[in-house]
Amino acid sequence: MDQGRHPVRPADPVSETATGLRAPPRVALYNNPKVRSAFYQIVVLVVLVACAYAFVVNARANLAAQGFGSGFGFLGNTAGFGINQTLIAYSETDSYGRVFLVGLLNTLLVAGIGIVLATILGFIIGIARLSPNWLVARLAGGYVELIRNLPLLFQILFWYLAVLLGALPGPRDSIGLGLQPILARLAGATRWLGLPDAVAQWWQGLADWIGPPELYLSNRGLILPRPVFGEGSEFVVAALALAILATIALRLWARRRRDATGRPFPVGWAGFGLIVGLPLATLVVLGAPISLEQPVLRGFNFVGGVRVIPEFVALLIALVTYTAAFIAEVVRAGIMAIPRGQSEAAQALGLQRGAMLRLIIVPQALRVIVPPLTNQYLNLTKNSSLGVAIGYPDLFALFAGTVLNQTHQAIEIIAITMAVYLLISLVTSLLMNLYNARTRRLVER
Amino acid sequence: MKRATLTLGLAFGLGLVADAASAQTLKTVKDRGSLICGVGQGLPGFSSPDDKGAWTGLDVDLCRGIAAAIFNDPNKVKYTPLSAKDRFEPLKSGEIDVLARNTTWTLSRDALFNFTAVNYYDGQGFMVRKALKVNSALELNGASICTQTGTTTELNLGDYFRANNMRYEVIAFATADETVKAYESGRCDVLTTDVSQLYAEKLKLTNANDHVILPEIISKEPLGPLVRHGDDQWFDIVKWVHFAMLNAEELGVTSKNIDEALKSNLPEIRRLLGIEGNFGEQIGLTKDWVVRIVRHVGNYAEVFDRNVGTGSRLGISRGINRLWTKGGIQYAPPIR
């Protein structure tokens, strides 16, 4: 950081005139290495293009002879089948193009949430593996060795069939979660402990007053109440946005003050208070324009509310735990790459282990961590296509599966699917490279 | 360079497809010395390997019939098990010679392939747990339904619930096994597919008697083998192997009485068995093609009974799959 203070030495004037005295020997054109290399490259390129052209022409002719059309017109045709997780409105009468969007969003959903959670879990485990605590370090090591050495498909099926579908009850016996079930349990516990019955009744009364549980867990998924946005709800959203912006500004100010005076400021707590408090206050002031729609069990399933399907949960858990094992190793390698002197110096300054990691070790380790971390992000995104094994309606299952089977436009669909995965990967790499460029600016002192 | 690699990869894929369109399937099969038949991945009654690894089933017997007609040996077949989702591309690209995988004959599929005949008239139904006390498909409003992706089933389901103004959740799996497993573990209330398949899958469930197949049949599912466009001779052969089995049943020729039948004086039987005329040769086979099929595989009644009918574990009655002379709709054009 302090290189700028050194005086810059002017360029040496002697070295610039040292060459160019003897003319190069005359060589025939075909012996000129530059010409030769260019020639071979052009030949390879021409052969490649000719092959590709021949393939395309041949395939088109043969497909046409068999009666297969080509082109992207099929995207406008009616799909006719249902999908059980759609982030945008969808019905059977919508087009294949809409199915593509639904699948793409489902892929991005599981990949996006998966990347965030896998990063958090991976950092925790990677740091835990280097912990001086013997048990913590061994547990983290055991986790990594167990998880990364089992096939991902097996893990997905395990979470789906053995855990979610195997252990959870049917919708009619759903496990209720939320405040009411906790109070009801408290009432039960009070009786069990032999405390006065009046106390238990008080707990029970409170539970009854609150009403039915807010959340339900069953083998049909997790059912949550759905927020209903009434009149004035846009102010609450605006308050949330304002709180986030204020927190960012606060963070910048706190950093500047710390750099200038060395006094820290608890940005985390203040930001939490802002982001939770401000929208909540707005909600109360405006008389709760956002209400919750409670799910109700009717017939086979719950009606109303939002449902997180078990396929999504199983795929997410499997992807997060699997990728986290690899990220943990990346993080461990990154931390081990930092010279011991750094942590010794931090200890000499009296920093605790948490502060040392946060302020000194991890920021430097990021330079080593980020490039392989990008690989893990790309892997997670591509691995999400394994959800096809448990019926998760992602891009691969819906578009390269069902739509391909129904339209037989294999070449177009595979080309689109390839292009989309490529695009997602390139964008991820681009963002990570930008971030990487930022971490590179950090210089050891 | 990335783009060049992509283009090359894509073009290579196309090149494989392009290899397929040659019209001489019979010659290819003869040169190879075996028939390659696309079948299901283990659907009892239609195509499943037995405990010794030998394939059996209604669809498998059609493949065996084709091999018997060509090679006089029903075992010269290589089976390629295919999921519902991935069944068409191998046929399109020429990896298999014929697809006999309980596939529904529809217009959009017929536009791209040739369906040869219907070897089983089926319809889509629903299976539920008895404990749900559901008696009709019309009581299924709001249910979660497991189905196999890439099937007409998936589409009929959408139509049926839309037409009856009912809500439903569909969970579509890539293979039949995954679908049944999800149903069995309680992920869905209903399993839907063709009724013949429901009977077959029911057998695989741990407590088969806890489940019931609802009476409604919500679709027409004529199942039959299909071949590529552009090879009329091969189309005829596959078509007439099925018709030969039907004609044999109609004339009472079975694998057991075939030797007596060869001595028959009836002109129809003499034509069927190639004693008179050269009918097999007209479609590129031998005169005794039907003898080969019936001797090695049997007539349609034998095949049906052995695989899905009363002689099998499935115990499905012939129903509309009876011959037209017995009140069904199985009907073969005459050999003459």
Q: Go through A244-277 and write b for each residue having 16 or more CB atoms within 10 A of its CB, e for each that does not.
A: eeebeeeeeebeeeeeeeeeeeebeeebeebbee
Pairwise CA distance, residues B60 & B77, whole Å = 9
Residues of A in contact with B155 (CB under 8 A): 80-81, 406
Mean pLDDT score across all residues of chain A: 86
Residue A224 confidence (pLDDT) = 86
Average pLDDT, rounded, for chain B: 90
Closest Cβ–Cβ partner in B14, B86, B168 for A56: B14
Measure the CA–CA gap between A22 and A272, rounded to whole angstroms. Answer: 72
- pLDDT band, residue A438 (cuts 50/70/90): confident
Q: Measure CB to CB from residue B229 to each of A67, A84, A388 and give the nearest one.
A: A67
pLDDT in tens, A226-257: 888 777 778 888 888 999 999 999 989 988 88
Residue type, A136: V
Q: What does the pLDDT average to over B37-42?
A: 92
Residues A332 and A423 both lie in one domain: yes
Regarding whether A265 and A156 lie in a shared domain, the answer is no
Q: What does the pLDDT read at residue B106? A: 93
A273 domain-assigned:
yes
Q: Do B169 and A161 touch (CB under 8 A)?
A: no
Q: Which chain A residues contact residue B84 at CB under 8 A?
A: 405
Give the model's confidence band at A68: pLDDT under 50 very low, under 70 low, under 90 confident, else very high.
confident
Secondary structure, 3-state, B177-237 = HHHHHHHHCCCCCEEEEEHHHHHHHHHHCCCHHHEEECCCCCCCEEEEEEEECCCHHHHHH
Whether residue A234 is contained in a domain is answered as yes
Per-residue pLDDT band at B188 (split at 50, 70, 90): very high
pLDDT value at position A443?
63
The pLDDT-based confidence of A6 (bands split at 50, 70, 90) is low
Distance from the Cα of residue A366 to its chain's centroid: 18
Asked whether the predicted pLDDT for residue B151 surpasses 90, the reply is no
Tell me the backbone φ, ψ of residue A87, rounded to 5 degrees. -80, -20
pLDDT at residue number A409:
86
So what's the pLDDT on residue A3?
47
Percent residues over pLDDT 70 in chain B: 93
Cβ separation A393–B187 shorter than 8 A: no
CB half-sphere exposure, B293, CA atoms < 13 A = 34
The residues, any chain, with a CB within 8 Å of residue B110's CB and separated by 6 or more, are none
In a domain, A405, yes or no: yes
Claim to verify: residue A321 and residue A393 sit in the same structural domain: yes
Instruction: Answer whether residue A99 shows pLDDT above 90.
Output: yes
Contacts of B316 (CB under 8 A, 6+ apart): B45, B196, B199, B308, B309
Is A334 part of a structural domain of the chain? yes
Instruction: For residue A65, give how far its alpha carbon lies from the nearest alpha carbon of chain B (Å).
Output: 8
Average pLDDT rounded to a whole number, residues B194-220: 90
Question: B202 pLDDT exceeds 80?
Answer: yes
Can you tell me the mean pLDDT for A109-126?
96
The distance of B154 to chain A (nearest Cα, Å) reads: 6
CA-nearest residue of chain A to B183?
A165
| Residue A230, number of CB atoms within 10 A of its CB | 13
Residue A304 pLDDT > 50: yes
Question: Is the torsion defined by CA of A321, A327, A333, A335 positive or negative?
Answer: negative
Residues A433 and A331 placed together within one structural domain of the fold:
yes
For the whole model, what pTM was predicted?
Answer: 0.79
Question: Is the pLDDT confidence value at A171 over 70?
Answer: yes
Query: Is pLDDT above 70 for B1?
Result: no
Q: What amino acid is encoded at A257 in this protein?
A: R
Per-residue tokens: B328: 């069904």
SS3 B151: coil
Chain A residues in contact with B88 (beta carbon < 8 A):
405, 408
Binned at pLDDT 50, 70 and 90, residue B13 comes out as very low
Q: Exposure of A439 by Cβ count < 10 A (0-12 exposed, 13-18 middle, 19+ buried)?
A: middle
Contacts of A63 in chain B (CB under 8 A): 17-18, 21
Residues in A closer than 8 angstroms to B186, CB to CB, are 165, 170, 219
Q: Check which CATH number belongs to the domain holding A364 and give it.
A: 1.10.3720.10
Give me the mean pLDDT over the A171-184 stretch. Answer: 80
Question: Is the interface score ipTM higher than 0.95?
Answer: no
- pLDDT tens across B279-306, in order? 999 999 999 999 999 999 999 999 999 9
> pLDDT class for B23, splitting at 50, 70, 90?
low
CB < 8 Å to A401, chain B: 85, 149-150, 174
CA distance A66 to chain B (A): 5
Q: What pLDDT sits at residue B9?
A: 47
Q: What's the half-sphere exposure (Cβ side, CA atoms, 13 Å) at A112?
A: 8
- Please state, in angstroms and rounded to a whole number, the distance separating the CA atoms of residues B78 and B64: 10
pLDDT recorded at residue A15: 47
Instruction: Show the tokens assigned to B39.
Output: 């079948």
Mean pLDDT across A345-352:
91
Per the CB < 8 Å rule, is B17 touching A414? no
Closest-CA distance, B19 to chain A, in angstroms, reads: 8
> Has residue A437 got a pLDDT over 50?
yes
The answer to the question of residue A47 being in a domain is yes
Q: For chains A and B, what is the number of CB pairs under 8 angstroms?
A: 156
pLDDT, tens digit, for every residue of A337-346? 999 999 899 9
Average pLDDT over residues A284-292: 76
Residue A208: pLDDT band (50, 70, 90) is confident
- Residue-range definition of the domain harbouring residue A35: 1-62
Do A435 and A329 have their domain in common?
A: yes
Do residues A326 and A410 both lie within one domain? yes
Residues A106 and A157 in one domain: yes
HSE at residue A334, side-chain half, CA atoms within 13 A, is: 26
Chain A contact probe: residue of B17, B190, B228 with most A CBs at under 10 A = B17
Count structural domains, chain A: 3
Q: Is the pLDDT of residue A354 over 50?
A: yes
Contact: B11, A418; criterion CB under 8 Å: no
What are the tens digits of pLDDT across the range A42-52?
999 999 999 99
The arithmetic mean of pLDDT across residues B135-155, rounded, is 90
Residue A401 lies in a domain: yes
pLDDT for the residue A445: 52
* A350 belongs to a structural domain: yes
Residues of A in contact with B152 (CB under 8 A): none
pLDDT value at A20 more than 70? no
Instruction: Give the model's confidence band at B7: pLDDT under 50 very low, under 70 low, under 90 confident, else very high.
Output: very low
Percent of chain A with pLDDT over 70: 93
Nearest neighbour of A62 by CB, restricted to B17, B132, B142 = B17
Residues A335 and A435 in one domain: yes
Give tens-digit pLDDT for B76-98: 999 999 988 889 999 998 999 99
Q: Which two tokens stand for residue B272?
A: 């069927």
Where does residue B74 fall: left (phi above 0), alpha (psi -120 to 50 degrees), or beta otherwise? alpha
Indicate yes or no: CB of A166 within 8 angstroms of CB of B185. yes
List of domains in chain B: 17-121+222-326 (3.40.190.10), 124-219 (3.40.190.10)
pLDDT, average across residues B150-179 = 90
Contacts of A416 in chain B (CB under 8 A): none
Identity of the residue in B4, B144, B169 whose CB atom sits nearest the CB atom of A48:
B4
For A117, the token pair is 């959670």
**Co-location of A249 and A320 in the same domain:** no
Same domain, A342 and A433: yes
Q: Which of A83, A59, A55 is nearest to A70 (CA)?
A: A59
- Is there a single domain that holds both residue A29 and residue A139? no
Tokens standing for residue B201? 């899958």
Whole-number percent of chain B with pLDDT over 90: 74
Contact B14 A55 (CB under 8 A): yes
Report how far apart, in Å, the C-alpha atoms of A422 and of each of A111, A379, B6 are: 14, 12, 10
Residues A143 and A58 in one domain: no
> Has residue A215 been placed in a domain?
no
The domain boundary, picked from A62, A78, A111, lies at A62
